[in-house]
Amino acid sequence: MGHEEEVGEEYLFKIVLVGDSAVGKSNLLSRFARNEFDTNSKATIGVEFQTQVVEIDGKEVKAQIWDTAGQERFRAVTSAYYRGAVGALIVYDISRRTTFDSVKRWLDELSTHCDTTMGRMLVGNKCDLENIREVSVEEGKSLAEAEGLFFMETSALDATNVQTAFEIVIREIYNNISRKVL
């Protein structure tokens, strides 16, 4: 008997984080990958991506999640950032309406650079800031419906829905791929 049956298929999914500066992209990633939150935003500098292993249907799936590393401040996210991405989290900050208004622009970026079948989730981050909320849950939901995106409000600060948001995107990519194979 060879080892063939024991060697599972390997899945590696590139997922990109997009959204305006300071919406919490880097903290969502550090919460997901390391269960850490960083109150000053130095997390933005440096790290290109983090790889996280998730199990789906008994298969090991590697999610390679890319962070803009602050490129978005200069409105110059390079095409290399998007290359090969099969999933995206489009993040806004529920306490800053301008970041919600930018979602359309980020969706345009994604449709320019990526395959339209990519798994996409709209993420309203900082839902812990209920007292200074500027974007209602309903607005987030209806934009997501109109654009055909999953939707979730999260808090990287108190860890609300962070794991779930990433896992839904990863599962969607996995399902897309399984459908193609069949």
Binding site for Mg ion (CB under 5 A): 25-26, 44
44, 52, 64, 161: which one contacts ligand GDP (CB under 6 A)?
Answer: 44
The footprint of ligand GDP on residues 106-125 (CB under 6 A) is 125
Give me the least distance between CB of 178 and ligand GDP, in Å please.
Answer: 32
Chain residue at closest Cβ approach to ligand GDP? 24
Q: Within 13 Å, how many C-alpha atoms sit on residue 130's CB side?
A: 2
Token look-up 């930018």 returns 102
Told to check if 128 binds ligand GDP by CB under 6 A, we report yes
Per-residue contact string for residues 22-41; x = within reach of ligand GDP by CB under 6 A: xxxxxx-----------x-x
Q: Around Cβ 171, how many Cβ atoms within 10 Å?
A: 17
CA 110 – CA 56 distance, rounded (Å)? 26
Q: Using CB distances below 5 to 8 A depending on partner kind, what does residue 107 bind out of Mg ion, ligand GDP, none?
A: none
For residues 45 and 69, the answer to whether their CB atoms sit within 8 Å is yes
Query: Rounded to the nearest whole angstrom, what is the least distance from the CB of residue 110 to Mg ion in the complex?
Result: 18
- Is 102 near ligand GDP (CB under 6 A)? no
Binding partner of 23, given Mg ion, ligand GDP, none, CB within 5-8 angstroms per partner class:
ligand GDP
- How many other C-beta atoms lie within 10 A of the C-beta of residue 150? 16
Residue 22 site contact among ligand GDP, Mg ion, none (CB < 5 to 8 Å, cut-off depends on kind): ligand GDP
Residues near ligand GDP (CB under 6 A) are 21-27, 39, 41, 43-44, 125-126, 128-129, 155-157
